[in-house]
Amino acid sequence: QVQLQESGPGLVKPSETLSLTCTVSGGSISRYYWSWVRQPPGKGLEWIGFIHYSGDTDNNPSLKGRVTISVDTSKSQFSLKLRSVTAADTAVYYCAGGKERLYYWGRGTLVTVSS
Amino acid sequence: DIQMTQSPSSLSASVGDRVTITCQASQDISNFLHWYQQKPGKAPKLLISGASNLETGVPSRFSGSGSGTDFTFTITSLQPEDIATYYCQQYTNIPYTFGQGTKLEIK
């Protein structure tokens, strides 16, 4: 059974870069697409983007080019970088397995943007 | 972006009730729609893909239907463990977008 675990700082200062990593276990990272989804406190889900080990990747235009998603097959990890964060980027960030059909999910990690 | 509108935003029902949630897309999305369940403090769980295909291991009391712009999610006999927020998601176009969620509570 594939398991996902997010890791990274829980607090990021405004204007800095949010960096999260998702470690995949129980399955090959080369087999699936991998995605990031976020959820502001008390609100709904927002799709951030996806990546495949082949390099196929895309992300939400609403994030205005601030997103980079990458994959490291040697470590069975994929990562999210979100630049120039503001308080509006405060959310629980989930990594997930799949491209548009998200069938594996991490537990999520809360990232707060605050000085 | 394709807007997904769920109704109602919240719903209170009794154990054993039939529960229906609707999801309307701002344009034709064929059957490119999934339904997720999110319990409090937990990650979402995929229940139904392609508008009507039940995922493996999901109880048969859950079902989905619809195509084009109008979709329905149904629980035929509500159980206490079904208390959650339910989201629809379209995947016709990027960005993939979710409905705002329907919070289901026990009466």
Least CB–CB distance from B87: residue in A44, A94, A108: A44
pLDDT at A8: 97
Assess contact for A82 and A65: CB atoms under 8 A: no
Q: A101 falls in which pLDDT band (50, 70, 90)?
A: very high
Whole-number Å distance between alpha carbons of A38 and A43? 10
Residue B2: closest CA among A56, A60, A98:
A60
Average pLDDT, chain B: 97
In this structure, the strands spanning B33-38 and B84-90 are: antiparallel
Decide if B89 touches A, using CB distance below 8 A: yes
For residues B49, B4, B7, A93, the Cα torsion angle rounded to the nearest 10 degrees is 70
Q: Which residue of A has its CA nearest to B34?
A: A101
pLDDT at B47: 98
Q: A27 falls in which pLDDT band (50, 70, 90)?
A: very high
How many Å from the N-terminal Cα to the C-terminal Cα in chain B? 36
Q: B62 falls in which pLDDT band (50, 70, 90)?
A: very high
For residues B52, B20, B72, A95, the Cα torsion angle rounded to the nearest 10 degrees is -70
pLDDT at B70: 98
> How far lies A81's CA from each of A15, A17, A30, B18, in Å?
13, 7, 20, 43
Contact criterion met (CB < 8 Å) for A108 and B36 = no
pLDDT digits (tens, 9 = 90+) for B23-38: 999 999 999 999 999 9
Decide if B30 touches A, using CB distance below 8 A: no
Contact criterion met (CB < 8 Å) for A101 and B49 = yes
Q: Give the DSSP letter of residue A74.
A: G
pLDDT at A10: 97
pLDDT at A4: 98
Least CB–CB distance from B96: residue in A47, A106, A108: A47
Phi/psi at B2 (5° precision): -85, 125
**Any bridge partners for residue A33, and if so which?**
A52
Angle, CA of B36, A78 and A98, to the nearest 5°: 30
Tokens describing residue A63: 């994030």
Tokens 């040697």 correspond to: A74
Percent of chain A with pLDDT over 90: 97
Whole-number Å distance between alpha carbons of B37 and A71? 28
> How far lies A59's CA from each of A48, A50, B47, B63, in Å?
6, 6, 24, 30
Residues of B with Cβ-Cβ distance to A96 under 8 angstroms:
43
**Amino acid at site B75:** I
